[in-house]
Amino acid sequence: MKTGRLKQGSAIVSNIILLLDALTVWQAAELAAWLRFGSSTSLPLGYDSLIVATSLLAMLCSSLVYQSFRGGSWQAMYGRVVLAWVITVGLLLSWLFFSKSSEAYSRIFVGTWIATMLPLLLLQRTLAMQALRWLHRRGVNTREVLLIGKGPMSNDLAKRAREASWSGFKVTRQVSASDLARITQLASDATYDEVWINLPAHEASIIPDVLEALKHSAADIRVVPDLLTYRMINHGVTFIMGVPMLDISGSALGGVNRLIKQIEDYILASIILLMISPLMLGIAAAVKLTSPGPVIFRQKRHGWGGEEIVVYKFRSMAVHQEHDKVTQATKNDARITPLGAFLRRTSLDELPQFINVLQGRMSIVGPRPHAIQHNHYYKELIPNYMLRHKMKPGITGWAQVNGLRGETDTIDKMKWRVEYDLHYLEHWSVWLDLRIVFLTVFKGFVNKNAY
């Protein structure tokens, strides 16, 4: 069994990475010195001690937020590098300020050092991940996995392990959970470093039998929850009267977060409306001049808590009547005017919804509001569909910037949209909102699926 050696190898890799962080900070200082003084050997007295102290500080900060290359994605790894950089820079600047020693160091040097530190750290991690990918593909420091469970979830897990070759996990055998004799035999072979049990929720009752079959295995045994179980666990626990209760339909927008998001909406909506008011006046005039009917189209939607609200849009269709059924716009829809087609394709028809934000009916970022008739239809077909209404609907959303915009002509498309909406609901933060707004500017307005 090589598990101990592999764990030791992983620890060595982690320590090497942290040491590389310190050396990278040092190299960033060398580069800043060359740009400011012409040579690192020309550094004034006291600079060397500052560089050494900050390099060790960066190593410490990296260790606090470090995530093993085996356990995280590229995005998570980069996020932790940025966080460690922010902490390091914050502590460095705080020390310079409170010790009243900032005047002893060149502002150009310190600014250049801070600016070059982050890209060099990101480059170092990228090269490290590529090197680990190359080593793992050649069998160095890998962890062999026995995967128990067959079906779509397990197949997807095995696929993820193959694609994430830099993680070092290698699924070498997959067996059905019902074949307990085979599991016992494989567990006794002592060739596996890890055992992953991946079963759907309705088969959870067999897990004790599987664990009994694995009782002689020295491998690391892990249970991989299905999507439903993960979502339940991810909501957290609330203590009421001293009793722990699992939050099934929890939201990140409780308490002070709700107030923060409301302030964020009012500030951003006010600024944006001031900037786009000339454009909105031009669009209003164009709508009025190109087709008969009102400039603003009003339609009822469900808002926070399922309450009915009125949502504004620039009218993009010829005036028509729909009684008990709301028909989604489709490609080459005869109801859409030529100007309306352009407005819908570029999302300019949704600009009046910033007024809805100031009214408190909508948010800038959130699940897109669907027609009330569509909500009644889909809530019977898609689990947790109505949880979308645990926050205000948004002008843009996490689903939209991930390509799920426009017509939802299949149940699967709507299911994926709901999945992204619920992810946003559970992981909301101001930074996520700003990220979605940023992504909307570059890829959320014009979309081939919007018509």
Query: For residue 281, is pLDDT > 90?
Result: yes
Q: What is the pLDDT of residue 389?
A: 84
Q: What is the pLDDT of residues 297-330, one digit of tens each?
A: 888 898 887 788 999 999 888 876 655 555 555 5
Phi and psi, residue 12, nearest 5°: -65, -45
Rounded-to-integer distance, Cα 80 and Cα 199, Å:
31
Residue range 361-387: mean pLDDT, rounded: 86
Identity at 102, one-letter amino acid code: S
Over residues 109-129, the pLDDT tens digits come to 888 888 888 899 889 888 887
Q: Are 28 and 120 in contact (CB under 8 A)?
A: yes
pLDDT at 260 over 90: no
Q: What is the pLDDT of residue 139?
A: 63
Q: Which two tokens stand for residue 413?
A: 């498309």
Instruction: For the chain, give the percent of residues with pLDDT over 70.
Output: 78
Higher pLDDT, residue 203 or 213: 213
Give the separation between CA 433 and CA 439, rounded to whole angstroms.
10
Average pLDDT over residues 130-143: 71
DSSP three-state, residue 182: helix
Distance (Å, whole) CA 224 – CA 206: 14
C-alpha count within 13 angstroms, C-beta hemisphere, residue 127: 10
Angstrom distance (rounded) from CA 218 to CA 193:
8
